[in-house]
Chains A and B, each alone.
Chain A
Amino acid sequence: MSTEEKHISTEAQVKQDGKDVFSSSSSSSVLWRPNNVLLKTFLLITCIKILLIPTYRSTDFEVHRNWLAITYSLPVAEWYVNAQSPWTLDYPPLFAWFEYCLSQVAAFFDPEMLKVENLNYASSATIYFQRGTVILADLIFAYGVREMSRTFCKSLNNHIVFVFLSLCNIGLLIVDHVHFQYNGFLLGILLISMANVSKTGKEMTVCAVHNGAMWFSILLNLKHLYVYVAPAYIVWLLKSHCLNSGKFFRRLFSLGLIVLTVLAVSFGPFRTQLPQVISRLFPFKRGLVHSYWAANGWALYIGAEKVLSVIWKHLGWLKDVKSAVMTGGLVQEQNFLILPTPTPIVTFLLTFVTMLPALWCLLCKKPYMNSKAFIRCIVLCALSSFMFGWHVHEKAILTAIISLCVLAALHAEDARIFIILSSAGQTALLPLLYPDNLSSLKLLLSLAYMLSSILILTNHHGKPLLRLHEWLYVIPLPLVTVYEVVLHKLLLGDKLPFLPLAFTSIYCAIGITYCWMLYYYMYLQNDARANERTAEDKSNRQRLKDKQF
């Protein structure tokens, strides 16, 4: 056998002397060009998306179909007024215009889906069309990934890791291509603006920054939830673009002009009915948490409340026996019996206060004058708002996860956070796919992504990333899903129906809270670390100089 092997290998070597080698080596270098990797990964993941077309769709599918119908068949003045379907238009105007453009194409596929009175209409042409638009809109996401990679990734390996982590992100796949939304497209715009804005130093051109600012204000006018990361943008632009240049007012003025222009274009057609539009965009009647608790600080808070109320009941301290059930499915306001009830104002203040230290560092301290600190600040803002915001959806975690991808490809510490955050955050997304026949799919999706991200990042950084207690947290995550899907029914039957979901969100909330605190700590430590590093650099340089002389 061994001789046979040798024979083949010598044959291969002989070949390598010939012309074949040239073609192979040159073609493989062509193969590994960054864009090629991006395109191929995108193509492969698109195939998976195509395979997922016939799976379950949530009501968001009908929501978007309804918006297509509204924008197509009604005059502009009625877009934010029409309430024939319960799923009224509640995204900002640019998104409505986006739907308007899509609806013009949709007319070629199936005109029936564009009638407002056709509620819950889902012909196969409608399904293919709507799914297809999400798949195509992901091209913007791929473009955003490319821009980010050009700005941040210096080596090919970094690039590939980043492309894989972001393009193949399972959370995005679940929310966009099964559940149905357009997050990939929106996050793509976020990435484009982030990439443009962070072109600092010598490359920093006024044009790129203006571009980035424009993209960000477009993003805000597509989905206003991204306003939570705006503080980081404002501080960063003020600091790196306006303050450092010496032309403070001129630059501030031009930035303001860009933002206002986009705002005017977007809201202009609706200037007569602004209050109506605003009331649609900010529905404060909703409760503190969604019907299924997002895995954030409030999930822990409510969990604590539940535990306390059970204890109180045993001790006989509780007068009012009706305990509020908060996973009832309807979006409504809750009353807390023991702990103080948070109001919207409190949650906003809390969110803002928790963002402040990060923003302060970015604004005032010198070591934070680099674009990586800016991205970290965005991640922290997104996490803080996710932790304490009012009526947060579980999908909001994607903003933090996707922004963190690029850093995970660059630094081991960020990679460590990324593994925990993405595993926990994506496990928390899985209950979105509640039909029974999706259980195997969602389990495998999360398992495959967890394994691959651990594998890739560990290989890439060349050392084990997680500490023991973090392993102990991450490894049982698939089991949490198994419990939620199968075990609970087997063990307890129909008793305690809210327990699986509550348990999932509390378990994941623990991990996300841990990530938030650890990342904040690392971010604030950055100051000290950077000081040490510069000191080291100085001494190194000194030594070099000494040698030269």
Chain B
Amino acid sequence: MQGKLQLAFITSFAVLLRCCIIYHSHSGEGKPPMYGDYEAQRHWQEITLNLPLDKWYINTTDNDLQYWGLDYPPLTAYHSLLLGHVANRIDPSFVKLRESRGFENAAHKYFMRLTVLIADIFIYLPAIIYFIINSRFWDSWQFGESNIFKFTRRDIAVLTALIYPGLILIDHGHFQYNCVSLGFFVAAVAVVLQDSFVIGSILFVLALNYKQMELYHALPFFFYILGRHTPSKTRSWFHCIRTLIYISFAVLLTFYVIWMPFLKSRDLFFSTVLRLFPFSRGVFEDKVANIWCAINVVYKLRQIFTNEQLAKICLIMTTCAVLPSCVSLCLSPTKNAFILSLINSALAFFLFSFQVHEKSILLIAAPVLLHFHNDPLPCFWFLIISHFSMLPLFIKDNLYLAYIGTIIFYFYSVFWIWPDLFYNDGTNSLLNKDKSKLKGVLLLSIISQFVKPPERYPDLFPLLVSIYSCGHFLIFFIYFNYIQLFVFRKENAASKIKSH
């Protein structure tokens, strides 16, 4: 009873924090003609509600793909359809075909905000809580006598994960439904770690079919499941192959069910798939904290290479970056290595792949949240930097106030509830323990908003932010790879020797 009360409080507080954000402006509020992601989501409701299914991904007179055409997989479209029906019942003018473009009013905003909130409450929050409740903690430590809530370490881990500001601000401020795909993803990780591979892979397929960016996580899933099913002394051939067949059957079936309406004709299928992977949009947009954007400062990539050449370079680099972590995972598939490999693979994709958004950093933040209790300081640092790396986006969306409020709140609350954060790490030899390093974040946060950039370089501050974050992400990439490849393997070897 007691433990549940704490969890109930933490959950209600997490939802409360989300509720505080929803009154801030959303992306593209009052900015015609294109508006922003908020309008995109509304537009998809309009399209899916009013057009037949085979016209969703195809350019027609009613469906101008240049104006926020649907570019997410079918599950997003189904979700939009569902919300479109609800919107239509509340007020048909929300989703009227063509006439509702750029529709904005208070009631509609509240409706849209509630849809995200509900998705968050029913998918992301339970997934995180389920994951952390089922993960192992090496003591039932409480943080001192002054713990008036009687939180256990587990409660604190839940709290830390649920109040991560990046996701909250993107979903409930900027407006997107990342909580759905990330929620499925976290649930999939949790279930796979419980050794129910079939259900786990179904959940992951759902995540993948909500946002194709979940491909960042696909390789570790594949290699972990493969690694767990390579025959050895304790595992028989027959057992492994049988489970693998089950898994692949489940994956194929889920894919088939979701894509069934689009498999009617070849053209339909290919045009849909092409919408999901828009190669023509270039190597990056705006300012992203990845390698290409950083290199671009001194070496104008897009003038030297064609899009196709760039795509090939990206592919090669990404493969090279992902490989060590995945191979190591396949050879020693432990639970910690799995989560670390998820981080590494997603970071590799973020840093080196083609067509990256600044919001994709959330795909790395999610596994980092799951890893938090094993290695608090670097994870904490990463999370702060990841939130910071989206600062230019928040300033564009008029969310600066929310950004400042949440980042200070997160910093101090985590710093407070993990008192051993800055002192008791065994493994962070690569990282400087000095918290004053984070002063750069503070300084850049303040000048980005209040200092006018010099006229010759109007994009100076966003660029500084992205380069600063990119440097950190590179260091984190090396660090997490190092941890996975050397520290955890060594520990595993040691424990194996002991147990024999």
Contacts and interface: CB of A to CB of B under 8 A. Distances in A.
B20 A20 contact: no
Contact of B117 (A32, A440, A451): A440
A499 interface: no
A364 interface: no
A160 B148 contact: yes
A24 B433 CA distance: 13
Given A44-B412, A51-B21, A51-B405, A156 B109 contact: no
B226 interface: no
B401 A53 contact: yes
A250 B426 CA distance: 68
B145 interface: yes
Interface string B205-242: 00000000000000000000000000000000000000
A437 B19 CA distance: 10
Interface string B398-415: 000110111011001100
Contacts of B17: 48, 51
A213 to B, nearest CB: 34
Contacts of B34: none
B13 A448 contact: yes
A47 interface: yes
B20 A52 contact: yes
Interface of chain B, main secondary structure: helix
Contacts of A23: 423
Nearest to A437: B110
- Measured as residues with beta carbon below 8 angstroms from the partner, the interface class of chain A is 35 or more
A28 B114 CA distance: 41
A7 B494 contact: yes
A3 B20 contact: no
Given A32-B144, A455-B149, A459-B148, A447 B12 contact: yes
Given A4-B491, A9-B139, A436-B110, A47 B409 contact: yes
Given A40-B412, A43-B408, A53-B401, A456 B149 contact: yes
Contacts of B492: 4
B150 interface: yes
B146 A451 contact: no
B404 A456 contact: no
B148 A451 contact: no
Contact of B404 (A7, A9, A50, A55): A50
Interface in B134-161: 136, 138-139, 144-146, 148-150
A43 B416 CA distance: 12
Contacts of A160: 146, 148
Contacts of A56: 23
A24 B423 contact: yes
A15 B149 contact: no
A472 to B, nearest CB: 17
Interface string A11-50: 1100100001001100110011000010010011001101
A492 interface: no
B498 interface: yes
- Which of A4, A12, A53, A455 counts the most B-chain CB atoms under 10 A from its CB? A4
Given A27-B423, A444-B12, 18 more contacts: A24-B419, A24-B423, A31-B416, A40-B416, A44-B413, A48-B409, A50-B401, A54-B401, A156-B146, A160-B146, A160-B148, A437-B109, A437-B113, A440-B117, A445-B16, A451-B5, A455-B9, A456-B148
Interface of B: 5-6, 8-9, 12-13, 15-17, 19-25, 106-107, 109-110, 113-114, 117, 136, 138-139, 144-146, 148-150, 401-402, 404-406, 408-409, 412-413, 416, 419-420, 423-424, 426, 491-492, 494-495, 498-499
Interface of A: 1, 3-5, 7-9, 11-12, 15, 20, 23-24, 27-28, 31-32, 37, 40, 43-44, 47-48, 50-56, 156-157, 160-161, 164, 435-437, 440-441, 444-445, 447-448, 451-452, 454-456, 459-460
18 contacts: A1-B136, A3-B499, A7-B494, A9-B139, A47-B406, A47-B412, A50-B405, A51-B21, A54-B25, A157-B145, A436-B107, A437-B22, A440-B19, A441-B19, A444-B16, A448-B9, A448-B12, A459-B150
